[in-house]
Chains A and B, each alone.
Chain A
Amino acid sequence: MTKFEVADSELIAQYKQGNEYAFEVLVNRYKNRIFTTINLIVKDDSVAEDLLQETFIKAIDTINSGKYNEEGKFLPWISRIGYNMAIDYFRKQKRYPKVVIEDNVKMFNTLSFSEESIEETRIKNETYAKLKELIQQLPPAQREVLTMRHYMKMSFQEIAEATNVSINTALGRMRYALINLRKQMKKSNVSYEKANQIF
């Protein structure tokens, strides 16, 4: 995991003491990962924006009420809030996630379009749109572990506890998720290998 200059626990302590900038650092540090987690579940940008806001509001209220005691594990804790909100959203809506993925260029934030040719950009967009689609098609248990480990930064042990399975089951599900995705990417997208060469 990325090591930051100031630990999350220190930033939370500073925010509690009235340093609002400390909380801004935390928000900027994790907003994309939490938003991605929510977005992978609800598959709707505007809903994900609302739920992200609610997630942080809940976190702020919990911290200010003195009930936060995660001892430095801020990201798994706040990701879990976001994850539960996204799941609750579906329960309230009484519907299942849509399989159709909207192709959204703003998703691919890490790409520097200005330095790439139009062709390279097109290949990358197609590649990642396909990957996003394939994630939605994974069996729910595999998708859950993938989201929790990769975006929520929960350890395999934490995932095992949260999903009531053994750590070997959690590891097995993650392995199958990654292997499935890799296999499908190779099979379904002729430009995938070409895209990898570009990266």
Chain B
Amino acid sequence: MKKQIKSSDILRYVYHETSAEENFWIEKLLFEEGHPLVEEFYDFIQMKDDLNQLETVPSSRTINRIMTYARSQGSSKKATKTMTKTAKIKKTLVP
């Protein structure tokens, strides 16, 4: 039976949401049989590439602040753990 593909299938294919079986049929119809949706496929690919180029970069100052917070929370967690451990030991020692 001849498989049919729709624009939504091409879109899912471009964003890697199709199964291996779907990939097989989409590739066969698009590239071997010259399906009319091939032009739309190339438009999607081109736009996807263009959108990737728009990715913006935060300042290193912001990233440093985030990491300082992540470290402080990690340290406080460790400190809490140590305190709990110490408290437990103390509890055990106290008659």
Contacts and interface: CB of A to CB of B under 8 A. Distances in A.
Contact of A172 (B8, B56, B70): B8
B63 A31 contact: yes
Q: Chain B: interface residue count, which band?
A: 35 or more
A53 B8 contact: no
B43 A182 contact: yes
Contacts of A131: 50-51, 54
B58 A64 contact: no
B75 to A, nearest CB: 8
Q: Chain A: interface residue count, which band?
A: 35 or more
A95 interface: no
B46 interface: yes
A32 B65 CA distance: 16
Interface in A1-46: 1, 15, 18, 20, 23-24, 27-28, 31-33, 35-36, 39
Interface stretch (B9-17, B20-28, B83-91): B9-17
Interface stretch (A69-77, A84-92, A113-121, A173-181): A173-181
Majority SS at the chain A contact face: helix
A18 B74 contact: yes
A39 B74 contact: no
Interface string B28-49: 0000000000001001101111
Interface string A155-176: 1100000000000100110110
Nearest to B16: A1
Given A150-B51, A175-B11, A49 B46 contact: no
6 contacts: A31-B63, A64-B73, A111-B53, A150-B51, A179-B43, A182-B47
Q: Which 9 A-B pairs have the closest CB atoms?
A: A171-B8, A35-B58, A56-B66, A109-B57, A49-B62, A36-B56, A178-B47, A23-B70, A182-B43
Interface of B: 7-8, 11-12, 15-17, 40, 43-44, 46-59, 61-63, 65-67, 69-71, 73-74, 77-78
Interface of A: 1, 15, 18, 20, 23-24, 27-28, 31-33, 35-36, 39, 48-49, 52-53, 56-57, 60-61, 64, 106-111, 124, 127-128, 131-132, 135, 146, 149-151, 155-156, 168, 171-172, 174-175, 178-179, 181-182, 185, 196, 199
